[in-house]
């Protein structure tokens, strides 16, 4: 189990939060109640939850972002990281179970800042290193160039985690650059809106073209529900706003993404990853 620190969630509450050296004051978007996150209490919260991997508290800068702001934010994120490690090490005996604290590289899309931050994070000798502040609206080319730059600095014998990336083509390209881990709400969020992913492309199950398509949702899927239910039936569920539609679509998407990364690992081991990746990027980018 991995828990996030709340840095990205606070970022999403722009207009309802105030960032200072001590931490972040923010209001709940649900009831307006006021809260405060600091590196210390974020460590304590994640300790109590008991996750195997917990994330350092950072500031996720928006895109676009002014250079001076990005640098100021990055340096504060580094200082917050130091405080996270102090609190993390202090509380280890209290909870008595092993956890991994993952630091996060920041620096927006500025190469010199990314290099500086990656070097600082690499120097922490953590068991796992994360890359944050990407997949926030920047062009994919910028995301790839920053990822490649950072991966050339972070230790090769430690897992690298690219936060918030979820499109199949983005995952495959990032794996080719040296990324090992991903997280994203995309598989289930898009499923709720009728978007499902297959080995041959993307389907919007709300489209009328599926109304009389009685083929399985995805005959190649590892999800049993995708083999026994038809595309016409899934479209019907979405049109009638049945919750079962989101459940079936979520199972399809989760099974597809699980297959994708497992298959990538097989291709890496047998030496055919790059040719396979090129073909898969073409396939999974298609709208069917």
- Tell me the per-residue pLDDT of 7-23, one tens digit each, with 9 for 90 and over: 877 777 777 889 999 99
Q: What is the mean pLDDT of residues 135-161?
A: 97
pLDDT at position 12 is 78
Buried/exposed code over 73-99 (b: 16+ C-beta within 10 A; e: otherwise): bbebbbebbebbbebbeeeeeeeeeeb
Does the pLDDT at position 28 exceed 90? Answer: no
Mind listing the pLDDT tens digit for each residue in 75-118? 999 999 999 999 999 987 777 788 999 999 999 999 999 999 99
Residue 178 binned pLDDT confidence (cut-offs 50, 70, 90): very high
What percent of the chain is modeled with pLDDT above 70?
100
Spatial strand order of the sheet with 24-27 comes to: 17-19, 24-27, 34-37
Catalytic residue numbers read 4, 183
Q: So what's the pLDDT on residue 85?
A: 97
* Lowest-pLDDT range of 26-40, 88-102, 134-148, 257-271: 88-102
Q: What is the pLDDT of residue 241?
A: 97
Residue 13: per-residue pLDDT: 78
CB count in 10 Å sphere of residue 193? 13
Helix (H) or strand (E) holding 29: none
Predicted local confidence at residue 10, as pLDDT: 76
Supply the mean pLDDT for the chain: 95
Give the chain's domains with CATH numbers. 2-184 (3.20.20.105), 188-284 (no CATH)
């Amino acid at each position: 189990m991995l828990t996030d620190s709340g840095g990205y969630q606070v970022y999403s509450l722009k207009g309802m939060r105030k960032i200072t050296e001590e931490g972040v004051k923010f209001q709940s978007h649900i009831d307006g109640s006021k809260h405060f996150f600091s590196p210390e209490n974020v460590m304590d919260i994640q300790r109590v939850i008991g996750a195997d991997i917990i994330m350092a508290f950072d500031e996720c800068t928006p895109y676009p972002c002014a250079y001076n702001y990005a640098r100021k934010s990055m340096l504060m994120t580094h200082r917050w990281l130091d405080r996270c490690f102090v609190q993390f090490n202090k509380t280890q005996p209290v909870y008595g179970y092993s956890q991994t604290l993952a630091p996060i590289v920041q620096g927006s899309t500025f190469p010199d800042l990314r290099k500086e931050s990656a070097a600082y994070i690499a120097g922490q000798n953590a068991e796992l290193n994360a890359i944050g502040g990407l997949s926030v609206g920047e062009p994919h080319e910028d995301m790839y160039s920053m990822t490649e730059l950072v991966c050339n600095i972070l230790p090769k014998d430690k897992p690298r985690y690219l936060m918030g990336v979820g499109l199949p083509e983005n995952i495959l390209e990032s794996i080719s650059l040296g990324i090992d881990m991903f997280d994203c709400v995309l598989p289930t969020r898009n499923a709720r809106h009728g978007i499902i992913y297959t080995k041959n492309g993307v389907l919007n199950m709300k489209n009328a073209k599926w109304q009389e398509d009685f083929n399985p949702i995805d005959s190649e899927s590892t999800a049993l529900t995708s083999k026994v239910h038809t595309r016409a039936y899934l479209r019907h569920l979405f049109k009638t706003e049945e919750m079962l539609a989101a459940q079936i679509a979520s199972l399809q998407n989760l099974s597809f993404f699980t297959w994708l990364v497992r298959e990538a690992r097989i291709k890496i081991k047998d030496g055919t990853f790059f040719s396979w990746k090129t073909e898969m990027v073409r396939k999974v980018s298609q709208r069917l």
